[in-house]
């Protein structure tokens, strides 16, 4: 029987809110067994870029990463955000180690091809080095991944954190019974966006398709849920979406996604 592994992704809305971040880190530190944290930090990167006089370009919610933007992202994701999280986890007795995909060659990506839009130094994940990550877990480290990968030719790449979480969960599913958690500002997938209690508690392909057709699921939730189903089709055991309360063992108001 495979050992359980929890992989949790948090977004920038948690990272830049000290109260929310502390609440999350308390819950994360309390999770028993092997675990991995993946974080974004786009909002914080935008704030720092503005202070430096560097314009952040977004198209459809996705960042265009030029050379100057990549410098800011590397400083913020791999430095400020990542090391703050690692230090806070150490204070909670969790032996965290901060990583980008370049560290230990853990996540290799390819620069996204130019189609309708040139996303610049954006990366699409090609390979997760599950063996290297497993060595860290076996040594009782808790990996904390920022949203940066590399192409193994010396180039760092800005990579969607939801995708990194999904691909790491897939990569680790050969050795572990993996559960992937996406923590964001909503209680889960909502029937009514204005009603936080209208959570769809269970989502599977049939009712997902129905909600798509009714336009109940749209916009920013679409790529997130595509990552969820992609992970499930690649042997990840379970995916959950909800707010920070989801990590509480007695929580009931979040969305569980299965096939």
Least confident of 52-61, 101-110, 245-254: 52-61
- pLDDT at position 194, please? 84
Q: Is 158 annotated as a binding residue?
A: yes
- Biggest CA pair distance of the chain: 53
Q: Is 235 annotated as a binding residue?
A: no
- pLDDT at position 222, please? 82
Q: Is 42 annotated as a binding residue?
A: yes
| Range among 124-128, 194-198, 211-215, 220-224 with highest mean pLDDT value | 124-128
- pLDDT at position 60, please? 67
Confidence of residue 46 (pLDDT cuts 50, 70, 90): confident
Kindly report whether the global pTM for this prediction surpasses the value 0.85: yes
Mean pLDDT to the nearest integer, 165-176: 96
Confidence of residue 61 (pLDDT cuts 50, 70, 90): low
Q: Is 53 helix (H, G, I), strand (E, B) or coil?
A: coil
Nearest in space to 107 (alpha carbons), one of 78, 79, 133: 133
pLDDT of 218 higher than 80: no
- pLDDT at position 219, please? 73
Tally: H helices and E strands in the chain: 9, 14
Confidence of residue 226 (pLDDT cuts 50, 70, 90): confident
d(CA 88, CA 240): 24
CB 256 within 8 A of CB 237: no
Residue 81: φ, ψ to 5°: -70, -50
Tens-place pLDDT, residues 202-217:
999 989 988 888 888 8
- State CA 113 to chain mean position distance: 22
Confidence of residue 55 (pLDDT cuts 50, 70, 90): confident
Q: Ramachandran region of residue 60, left (φ > 0), alpha (ψ -120 to 50) or beta? A: left
Domains in the chain, please, with CATH? 3-257 (3.40.1160.10)
């Amino acid at each position: 029987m495979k050992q359980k592994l929890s992989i949790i992704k948090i977004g920038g809305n948690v990272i830049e809110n000290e109260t929310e971040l502390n609440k999350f880190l308390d819950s994360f530190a309390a999770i028993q067994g092997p675990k991995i944290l993946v974080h974004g930090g786009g909002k914080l990167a935008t704030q720092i870029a503005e202070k430096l006089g560097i314009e952040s370009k977004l198209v459809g919610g996705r960042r265009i990463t030029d050379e100057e933007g990549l410098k800011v992202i590397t400083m913020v994701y791999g430095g400020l955000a990542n090391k703050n999280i690692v230090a806070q986890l150490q204070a909670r007795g969790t032996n965290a180690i901060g990583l980008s995909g370049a560290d230990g060659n853990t996540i290799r990506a390819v620069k996204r091809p130019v189609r309708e839009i040139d996303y610049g130094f954006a990366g699409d994940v090609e390979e997760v080095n599950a063996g290297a990550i497993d060595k860290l877990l076996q040594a009782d480290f808790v990996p904390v991944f920022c949203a940066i990968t590399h192409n193994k030719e010396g180039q760092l790449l800005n990579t969607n954190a939801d995708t990194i979480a999904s691909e790491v969960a897939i990569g680790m599913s050969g050795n572990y019974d993996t559960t992937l958690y996406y923590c964001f500002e909503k209680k889960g997938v909502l029937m009514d966006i204005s009603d936080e209690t209208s959570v769809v508690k269970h989502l599977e392909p049939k009712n997902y398709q129905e909600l798509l057709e009714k336009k109940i699921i749209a916009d920013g939730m679409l790529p997130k849920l595509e990552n969820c189903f992609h992970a499930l089709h690649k042997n990840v055991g379970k995916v959950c979406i909800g707010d920070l309360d989801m990590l509480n063992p007695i929580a009931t108001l979040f969305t569980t996604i299965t096939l």
